[in-house]
Structure 1
């Protein structure tokens, strides 16, 4: 079987937009500042509490980000980010890329650092069926830990497997450790250290890229 696995938020769904706009609801005009601080805290919360559900990870990371800026998140406001996830937009290139892969015979899976109910809401935004999902809630860990990848491999034994993701730390590094074929969707223009088999700024030519790196042109 031919599989393409994806990280969801940041790769298919505009995670940065969602976090910034959710934070801006609480602190108007401060969403961008809070996003940057949030990025510095989320991974630490996940490492400290790998079995904590993602909605609570988000709440704690938001509290820490706000505290950095001298702001206080009230307890009854801490769920604002999780509450907004069903409305986070996909990137403009997402649906076409997924549809093209499916039409070409590739099966699609999501390996995502979130809860089952959250990814359930997000699927309606994708509008393209996926064949498998592995969440942090399923495996009791957050990437860059390897549990998502192990669960997927052990469940589906893919003959051809390409992993596609935006996060270098959470996805490209562990995928390299496991020897997976990997495509880095470098949406934010980070420096390329050469560990991915292909680097693209977006998903617009993903089918051709997957064919190329998999050797199945």
Structure 2
């Protein structure tokens, strides 16, 4: 192992893509819309188109809460594909966050990791959306940092500045924090910028392409890679058992 997992006291998590299966949640709206519009794109093609536009919407309009970003990204996706997105379809995606499914291993992995670490969420979402998601995750989080709290979206720096402030309140030194995330674009790029060690949960390890996450355009690093949260929790358990 490149790092000692027992050297850390806290884990900060991205949520959507890492703990919650946002691609399945988004595709549950995009796919029937595309069918209604006579498009023959498969799920990965729709997600790739959508992901680029969500990143643009977050950059160009950082203040709106996440449901408004989802609606705007959907409209931009439709325009790029030459098809309209009605207000009803846009609202359907905007309101869908609490229904996005958790990955099957997330709740159990979080419970196991909580035996060894303080858990923190650092997410591009609004407070109500995460509250709905946490009904599935049942996570015991010491701090929750959302885009609504910081007024901006990753891969910007606002979440990570807020994370530093949260650590001092929890009595955790910065060197005792490990960041855990799926998205290289949203999380591992800024984690490198802020000098944080990180773990890549490579949820798409068995599928080609980037899915709903844009390809990273800046340098990134990660210290460990696992295909799932279960595999990461297993590794942490073994490390502490030793």
Give TM-score scaled by structure 2 length.
0.80
2:23 to 16, 23, 29: 16
Classify the secondary structure of the residue corresponding to 1:110. Answer: strand
Give the number of the structure with larger relative contact order, counting CA–CA contacts within 8 Å between residues 6 or more apart.
2
How far does residue 212 in structure 1 lie from its aligned partner after superposition?
8.9
The alignment status of 1:44 with 2:70, answered yes or no, reads no
Give yes or no for the alignment of 1:197 onto 2:223: yes
**TM norm structure 1:** 0.89
Report what 2:70 is aligned to.
Answer: 58
Residues 34 and 66 of structure 1 are in contact (CA less than 8 Å); yes or no, is this contact kept in structure 2?
Answer: no
Contact 1:198 1:209 in 2 (8 A): no
What do residues 122-172 of structure 1 show as CA deviations (whole Å, max 9, x unaligned)?
A: 110112322211011111110111111111211222221110000001101
Quote how far apart the aligned CAs of 1:27 are. 3.2
Q: Equivalent residue for 2:88? A: 76
Structure 2 residue corresponding to 1:3, chosen from 1, 10, 14: 10
Q: Distance in 2 between matches of 1:95 and 1:50?
A: 30
Q: What are the residue-to-residue correspondences of 1:12-161 with 2, within 5 Å?
A: 12-28=19-35, 32=43, 33-104=45-116, 106-157=117-168, 158-159=172-173, 160-161=176-177
Long gaps (5+) in structure 2: 1-7, 211-218
Partner of 1:174: 190
Cα distance in 2 for residues equivalent to 1:120 and 1:128: 10
Distance 2:120 2:142 in 1: 6
Q: 8 Å contact 1:100–1:207 — kept in the other structure?
A: yes
Cα displacement (A) at 1:194: 7.6
1:20 to 1:59, Cα distance in 2 relative to 1, 3 A: same
Query: Is the partner of 1:70 in helix, strand or coil?
Result: coil
Q: Does structure 2 conserve the Cα–Cα contact (< 8 Å) formed by 1:20 and 1:31?
A: no
Which residue of 170, 179, 186 corresponds with 1:163? 179
In the alignment, the residues of structure 2 paired with residue 128 and residue 43 of structure 1 have an alpha-carbon distance, to the nearest angstrom, of 27
